[in-house]
A and B are shown apart, each in its own frame.
Chain A
Amino acid sequence: MPLRIAKTFWPAVLTLAAALGGASLAEAEETLTVATGGSENMVDYVTDYLGPMFEAQNPGWKVTTVGTGPGDAGSQAILEKLTAQKDRDVWDLDVIVTNQLKTGEMVESGLLQKYRDEIATGPLVTSVSAENALGTDVAGYVMPMFISQTAIAYNPDLVPEPPQTMAGLRDWAAAHKGAFGYNGIKNGMSGVAFATAWIYAFGGDAAVLMTGPYDKAQEAGWTAAFAELKAFNENVTFTPGNAGTLDMLNRGEIAMGPVWVDMFYSWQQDGRLNPNLKIFLPEPGMPGQPYYYAIPAKAAHAEAAKKFIALATSPEVQAEGIVKKFNWYPGIDATHLQGVLDEASWAKLFTDITPEDLAAKAKPFPLGAYFNDLLEDYETKVTN
């Protein structure tokens, strides 16, 4: 903790030192500034793991990390910072880690630069999400850091046989008032993912929402689905966030709820979560998302940023850091991890949810336009 506080104030100290007489201290070390959206674990990933590794390989460089928080809000903060600097010659963020919706908006507003073809690990990426972010063409601008997935976590001591479909979940929650918990849409993406899964299940043709084209008429079925979600909300417990859902599951205050798979496994690994808890993917499926590494268009240290991202997306780091330490699915094609990752660590990712489950029931979030409508409708039709 003291180290992190020191790191937060370090740039200010450097600026002050430079201002006070151009002390050579400021020139001796270059600082690579990484801004990351997402929950606390993503900040930890850069501060505790990736940053020190980059510093060790590149003497004279220092990595400073800024965490901007989970959900759209975290990535929106980065978007706003870049927008504010738009007219300046040099921007002070070198690497950003943002979600799909906001990264798409950044590409559209010309805030990012193309770099994927210039780094060695560029060709290792095969996933669709590296080309297309919720309907926006982002090819070349991004490298997926990881792919993450939401799922329903449950306590087998309280629910030995959880319902396997969204419709089953709805009925189960009505029969067990307060035992299902989620975080609405204002407190993190696991709740947003659940609301999305609800619309995929009950709101009409889900495939069009994911692949397009955008047509407001597709949303005709939403009114009824959201009315049902409003009724469903009467039967659930609201949790204070992604971590809040896990906390309440752990304390036995709720028996089921949507969580991020990586957070779930990491908490179990660290002994912060009841080891008996399990996860599953209900029919017809729940959304997942990548987080992207991107470089702002006028980043001060673009070359170092490319080096940093090449390191972060190398098979070794993806195996050791992304899969083994933080329980995410890799951002680069999994075939490149063979030989670098031991079988046990790989198998651990699929303890509760099999690769077949993932193939059938792991969905992307809807296209940006549908997604924005969905969030807006949730507020006007469900919570108000």
Chain B
Amino acid sequence: MVRFDNVGLRYGMGPEILQDLSFTIEPGTFQFLTGPSGAGKTTLMRLLLLSLRPTRGVITLFGRDSSLLDKDALTAMRRRIGVVFQDFRLLDHLTTYENVALPLRVQNQREESYRSEVHELLRWVGLGDRMHALPQVLSGGEKQRAAIARALIVRPELLLADEPTGNVDPTMARRLIRLFVELQRSGTSVVVATHDLGLMEQFEDARRLVLGGGRLHIYD
């Protein structure tokens, strides 16, 4: 599903912050991406999301060389990827419901076709009574759950989550990770970037991608 071959990245003329990354992510797998602050976790997530181009190496996504994708192909690719940002990136002028429904709306789906599905997912993440609230009045945890619901609503083939449990209590964190594991069992590949060692220990079967000094160490 995802293949990195000798991928390196530098910003401008600066040092290479990611070096010689070579790994694959197979369909239906679950992996934690971890490492100290500033190790490049978010940068690697952005490479996976194709919002950054590597300065060297080849990234193959869903069987296609990312450097050869035109804009339409990139759009089609992103519709197969769900993403949870560390800073949530909810649109402030849209309600929780509208934010979660956004990935379906941009695909020109009719609201009648997805309304019940969005309601159900919002109830599941505990935002059933906050559907019509704007992000400004949501707590950090509620925003995070809304961002997760937005990533899940399209049933993505690849889910990228950057610190998805950073603002929720441990119970909700476990619940969300279990949801990700359920998704993985239904065929979705999941990459969760986190600092939370305690959380990772609770899911010992998960693969670990550890970034340090610009290089990636994999623990299957």
* A, B co-complexed: no
A contacts, CB < 8 Å to B: none
